[in-house]
Amino acid sequence: MRETSEKKTAGKKLFGELFSSHNLGDFLFERLTLLFAVSVFLLVLLMGYQMYHGSKLSIDKFGLSFLVNSTWDPVQEIYGALPIIYGTVVSSFLALIIVLPLSIGVAIYLSEMAPAWLEKPLSFLIELLAGIPSVIYGLWGIFVLVPWIRNSIEPYLSKNLGFLPIFRGAPYGFGMLAAVIILAIMVLPIISSISREVLKAVPHSLREAALALGATRWQSTKIVLAAARPGILGATMLGFGRAIGETMAVTMVIGNRALISPSLFDPSYTLASVIANEFSEATSDMYLSALIYLALILFVLTIIINALAHLLVWSMERKWKAA
């Protein structure tokens, strides 16, 4: 009897020295969940590798000049991504400019002003907006937004402000303007909900300090916004990251032509919509490889933007938790 129990304790001691857990069950459980966590880690690496490998053909041929060549002509096998990158960045950037003040306004309203009974359903509605599939936005875009732009907005802008280069051209409906509007709608819920989290993380004592000095509500809100600035910047970047990756809604309304034009009325092309449009029809290896190269660019861009954004938001939340 004594021998067996001594052996058991000796075995347990060995375990205890090597691992943090004290019995086999804990050991297995921890290692099992760890395995899955590691797989996520490996997955991201795998994704990067796959895309690099898939685009190697065109990377070898075009190198970095791919990013600045301005002709995208699959027929002649000339692949330059500049107009596509232009379309991606410009459409997202413009959408962001429109939507940023609105999003922050919504975040302020929901976190500072709205009565409790109103805040919950409202924030749910805004969440719902984020949950609508991209293709449904696109559907609505084709049959409601684009005709409206073609029949009302563009003619109006053309008549009154048509001398401006951004409003030049025929009212086609499909084009940069439609994409910008739809991106703005899609990105608003993200920026506003993260901003709201960020505003909530600012301790209440800050508002109290401002109000006790005789500040008005708006003045105290400004002080809170200043304190939340890094987080709001992070929210904006996340919105931007989402916008550049948005595929279906954009491809359904943007016109899908690779050209660089100052006019909002003209069609355009984004990284995501090229891939969506042309991937299944890619006939040659080089064509496919060029498309995967585009995907790689998009991948790298979104990773960088999202990584920076998350660091900003997390740093803010940690700062306040420590304080």
Partner 1 sequence: MEIKISIKNLEAFYGKNRVLKSVSLDIPKNKVVAIIGPSGCGKSTFIRCLNRMHEVVGGSMTGSILLDGEDVTKVDPVLLRKRMGMVFQKPNPFPTMSIFNNVAAGLKLNGLRNNKKLQPIVEKCLKQAALWEEVKNNLDDAGMNLSGGQQQRLCIARALAVDPEVLLMDEPASALDPISTTKIEDLIFELKKNYTIVIVTHNMQQASRVSDYTAFFYVGDLIEYSETRKMFTSPDKQQTEDYIRGRFG
Partner 2 sequence: MESGIIKEKNFFHYKKKFTSVVMMSLTMVATIAAIVPLVFIFYYTISKGITYLSPQFFVAMPKPVGEPGGGMANAIVGTLILIGLGGIIGIPVGIMTGTYLSEFGHNKFGYVVRFLTDVLSGVPSIVVGVVAYTMVVMPMKHFSAIAGGIALGILMIPTITRTTEEMIKLVPHALREAGLALGIPKWKTTLAIVLRSAWKGIATGVLLGLSRAAGETAPLLFTALGNRFWSTNIGQPMASLTVYIYDYAKSPFEDWNQQAWTAALVLILLISILSLLFRIITRSKYKTN
Give the binding site for partner 1 (CB under 8 A): 203, 205-216, 219, 223, 226-227, 229
* Shortest spacing between CB 108 and partner 1, in angstroms: 16
CA nearest 262: which of 148, 134, 175?
175
State the minimum distance, in angstroms, from the CB of residue 53 to partner 2: 7
**118: its two tokens:** 């109103």
Classify the phi-psi angles of 169: left when phi > 0, otherwise alpha if psi is within -120 to 50, otherwise beta: left
Q: What is the dihedral of CA 81, 181, 131, 99, to 10 degrees?
A: 100
One-letter amino acid for residue 260 of the chain:
I
Q: Which does 144 bind (CB under 5 to 8 A by kind): partner 1, partner 2, none?
A: partner 2
Beta bridge partners of 73: 78
Q: Which is nearer to partner 2, 126 or 178 (CB)?
A: 126
Q: Which is nearer to partner 2, 159 or 204 (CB)?
A: 204
Task: State how far the Cα of 124 lies from the Cα of 52, in Å rounded to an integer.
Answer: 40
Closer CB to partner 2, 181 or 264, in the complex: 181
Residue whose C-alpha is closest to residue 178's, from 202, 152, 204 = 152
CB atoms within 10 A of CB 39: 10
**Of residues 35 and 322, the one with the C-beta less far from partner 1:** 322
Q: Which is nearer to partner 1, 159 or 204 (CB)?
A: 204
Binding partner of 33, given partner 2, partner 1, none, CB within 5-8 angstroms per partner class: partner 2
* Least distance from partner 1 to the Cβ atom of residue 211, Å: 6
d(CA 264, CA 161): 12
Min dist CB 104 to partner 1, Å, is 17
Rounded least distance, CB 148 to partner 2, Å: 10
Task: Look at residue 201 and give the partner it binds from partner 1, partner 2, none, a contact being a CB closer than 5 to 8 Å depending on partner kind.
Answer: none
